[in-house]
Amino acid sequence: MSSDIFARIQQSLEAIKAAIIENETELEAFRIKYLGSKNELKELFGEIKNVDNSRKKEFGQLVNELKETAEKIYESHKLAQPGTEKDVNNANLDMSAPCEPILSGSRHPVSIVMNRIIQIFERIGFTIAEEREIEDDWHNFTAMNTPEDHPARDMQDTFYLKDSNTQLLRTHTSSVQARIMTTQAPPIRIIAPGRVYRNETISSRSHCQFHQVEGLYIDTNVSFADMKQTLLYFAREMYGEDTEIRLRPSFFPFTEPSAEMDVYWGLNNEDDYRITKGTGWLEILGCGMVDPEVLINCGIDPKIYSGFAFGMGIERQAMLQYKITDIRQLFENDTRFLKQFIGVI
């Protein structure tokens, strides 16, 4: 009798190993047969009473082994069913099923314009200098020849850090000029893109944070004509090869002489009249020859070196380029607005 039962165990083992499981129904049938509440193995185990005492232990071990084998086979097939990790290897995948749409992001218009400006200057040998947004007033004002009683330092314009008279959020990227000139020897040829802050009332035309790109070129024999040519090259790369520029005398504490550069925008439609105030010209940047006082402040000998600098706002150029009428849209992260720039690089 006992040997009969041992033969049945052997048969069951072979049957389990040979079971064909190719889909969920077959897997479920396997589970019921070998692992369900009324499974075959239980019935077999019930036969233990008919086994010779001397072989009861051996019998118990074999039945357990049988159960474990059934469990392993079941688990390995379960993993291979749709919706599980091993699914990729499963031939049941429907490769023609429509996939979830992949949402692609977009570059921010400020980044698009900033990157274009950077690329234009990189082509003529300017390297990028990035510096801190939290500055001290020496780099932001004093070194840049802006005296202590200058209105630009006023609490109205500048965000000072809490409990500090000296630490502030930089009001312009010109602070990077001082950072670079005090740490690098000429020749210097850098552009400094970055965010700046001013304590201004937020409106459709101005914001308390915006972006600038600063330029600085220091070497022997750098002239005003070099600056003019560099800026003309920039304007034509940025706004088209026929673009005309003009330089108007201006004042900045850190340059002498100083100028503002306009590009000719044209007067082709009503919008042009409005944004150029009827002149056709648009102001793009401030510039000038670095004031010798600034060179001295930063440890550069003005008898040997001269240089030019310029600084431009990015938001205004982005607004012109993309006909954005309210600067606040650039800072609100409204995806309906940002989506329009998908694919623009």
Contact with ligand DAH (CB under 6 A) among 222, 295, 309, 319: 309
DSSP symbol at 160: B
Find out whether 327 and 315 touch, Cβ atoms under 8 Å. Answer: yes
The footprint of ligand DAH on residues 157-176 (CB under 6 A) is: 172, 174
Complete DSSP assignment for 178-206: HHHHTTSPSPEEEEEEEEEE------SS-
Give the residue from 205, 195, 108 showing the smallest Cα distance to 159.
195
User: Is residue 234 involved in binding ligand DAH (CB under 6 A)?
Assistant: no
Of 12, 255, 297, 306, the one binding ligand DAH by CB under 6 A: 255
Q: Which of residues 172-211 bind ligand DAH (CB under 6 A)?
A: 172, 174
Is the alpha carbon torsion for 156, 161, 166, 170 positive or negative? Answer: negative
d(CA 235, CA 216): 17
Kindly state the smallest distance separating residue 313's Cβ from ligand DAH, in Å. Answer: 8
Is 305 a binding residue for ligand DAH by CB under 6 A? The answer is no
CA angle 159, 128, 142 (to 5 degrees): 40
Q: Are 295 and 144 within 8 A, CB to CB?
A: no
Of the pair 6, 160, the CB lying nearest ligand DAH is at 160
Strand ranges for 80-202 from DSSP E: 127-128, 134-136, 167-169, 188-197
Report the alpha-carbon distance of residue 66 to residue 44 in Å, rounded: 10
Q: 109, 186, 193, 311: which one contacts ligand DAH (CB under 6 A)?
A: 311
Residue 220 Cβ, how far from ligand DAH at the closest point, in Å?
19
Pattern 209-228, binding to ligand DAH, x per CB under 6 A?
-----x--------------
Of 1-9, 82-90, 221-229, 282-290, the segment contacting ligand DAH by CB under 6 A is: 282-290
One residue of 287, 300, 319, 330 binding ligand DAH per CB under 6 A: 287
The answer to the question of residue 288 lying near ligand DAH (CB under 6 A) is yes
The SS3 of residue 169 is: strand
Q: What's the closest the beta carbon of residue 288 comes to ligand DAH, in angstroms?
A: 5
Residues that bind ligand DAH in the complex, under the rule CB under 6 A:
172, 174, 214, 252, 255, 286-288, 309-311
